Amino acid sequence: MTADSPRTEQDKDLSVTDDAASTTEQQGTTRKAPEAGARVISGMQPSGESLHLGNYVGALVNWVKTQEQYESFFFIPDLHGITVPHDPQFLRERTRNTAAQFIAGGIDPDRSTLFVQSHVPEHAQLAWVLTCITGMGEAARMTQFKDKSAKQGTEAASVGLLSYPMLMAADILLYQPDGVPVGDDQKQHVELTRNLAQRFNHRFGETFRVPEPFIPEVGARIYDLQEPTVKMSKSASSPNGLININDTDKKIAKKIKAAVTDDGTEIRFDREAKPGVSNLLSIYSAVTGKSIQELVSEYQGKMYGHLKADLAEVVVATVGPVRDRTQELLADPGELDALLSKGAAKARHTAAGTLAEVYDKVGFLPAAPV
């Protein structure tokens, strides 16, 4: 499927699945990954100095698989990074660093469309149109807005934080994708995207493909090494709970060996009773491809220390080459920026067509050629 091929509701039938890992709870519907050759899109914010192991295992590894099967668009959503106070220089550096880690982690700019969100102005332009068909109550019910505004206080929370989901919807709908590989904490935003697409289509005529979210089972959620009931996050309460892609081999091993485990000595998977060990098993499984059951059998009768030592070795072997390749890419920022510019041009080829149709449908007067 080419980037400028026409998209219709009949292109793919993605409405049925038997895979519990790719389930969303909206109206009891279960959803599977799109068929081979379909178009998918996803992005990851440049909000920290480095991607962490949760980003790598939970998203990037799956994106690399995705580009083998689908027409893939991957982007760095830097516009989302200014919904809270930020340092402009840090944002610029982190955006470039995130792009380098994407490529080092296996995203191929020749096979996939890789770009920076702000390089494609159609994102902000479509977001305004979608904001105008979104209800205040609908936007305010988004979990992330409620959580962040509760922490910051309503007066301190920006309007950008409220309208964040409409920009996210624009990020998706611009490219008329069949599917959106997302973490399970983003399902609510994808459901809003689907609702807005259907609402626009109903009011103005068929325009948007209504995309399906699909959520990988393995690595969909990696937990903090020090607080194994909390998702691994850049805002971790302790740096020891977070494995960054740019960590040294020594630091990675030290963090894993210091990871919180559980009472007893039995190595088994039980997210409720043994969250610490279960998290280590999940990471091991995601990094090596071994099943949880296989790992439990392999470590039967062994101590937690054995599991941690082996896990540290396989994580270092996985993360180390990505870190080193990232540094090579960052050493030549001109070449990296050229790759991103090329990706933005490819993205605009598709995005501009969608926006032109949207502008025509809502009644904007087209600009006459000069």
Each residue's pLDDT tens digit, 15-39? 222 222 222 333 334 356 677 788 9
DSSP codes joined into one string, 107-171:
--TTTSEEEEGGG-THHHHHHHHHHTTS-HHHHHT-HHHHHHHHHH-TTTS-HHHHHHHHHHHHH
pLDDT band at 141 (very low <50, low <70, confident <90, very high): confident
Examine the pLDDT at 53 and tell me if it is beyond 90.
Answer: yes
Q: Which CATH superfamily is domain 249-331 in?
A: Tyrosyl-Transfer RNA Synthetase (1.10.240.10)
Shared fold status for 39-220+333-360 and 249-331: no
Examine the pLDDT at 331 and tell me if it is beyond 70.
Answer: yes
In Å, the largest CA–CA distance within the chain is 77
Question: Is there a catalytic annotation at residue 231?
Answer: yes
Q: Is 235 annotated as a binding residue?
A: yes
Domain boundaries, the chain: 39-220+333-360, 249-331
φ, ψ for residue 70 (rounded to 5)?
A: -125, 165
At residue 336, what is the residue type?
A: L
Task: List the catalytic residue out of 12, 187, 231, 274.
Answer: 231
Q: pTM, whole model, 2 decimals?
A: 0.82
Q: Is 233 annotated as a binding residue?
A: yes
Task: List the catalytic residue out of 234, 257, 342, 361.
Answer: 234
Residue 315 and residue 150: Cα distance in Å, rounded?
A: 36
Q: Is 234 annotated as a binding residue?
A: yes
Report which of 211, 203, 240 is spatially closest to residue 225, judged by C-alpha positions. Answer: 240
Q: Pull the structure tokens for residue 283.
A: 């990471």
Q: Which residues contact 77 (CB under 8 A, 6 or more apart)?
A: 43, 44, 45, 46, 117, 168, 171
Residue 301 and residue 164: Cα distance in Å, rounded?
A: 49
C-alpha neighbours within 13 Å on the C-beta side of residue 133: 22
Q: Is 183 annotated as a binding residue?
A: yes
Among the ranges given (87-96, 177-186, 229-238, 355-364), the one the predictor scored with the smallest mean pLDDT:
177-186
**Sheet hosting strand 212-214, strand order edge to edge:** 113-116, 71-76, 39-43, 179-181, 212-214
What is the average pLDDT across 208-217? 78
What is the average pLDDT across 198-213? 94
What pLDDT sits at residue 149?
A: 67
What is the average pLDDT across 138-150? 73
What pLDDT sits at residue 152?
A: 67
Question: Is there a catalytic annotation at residue 234?
Answer: yes
**Domain 39-220+333-360, classified CATH 3.40.470.10, yes or no:** no
Task: List the catalytic residue out of 148, 187, 255, 308.
Answer: 148
Residue 136 and residue 163: Cα distance in Å, rounded?
A: 9
Residues in the chain: 370
Number of H helices, E strands in the chain: 13, 5
Examine the pLDDT at 124 and tell me if it is beyond 50.
Answer: yes
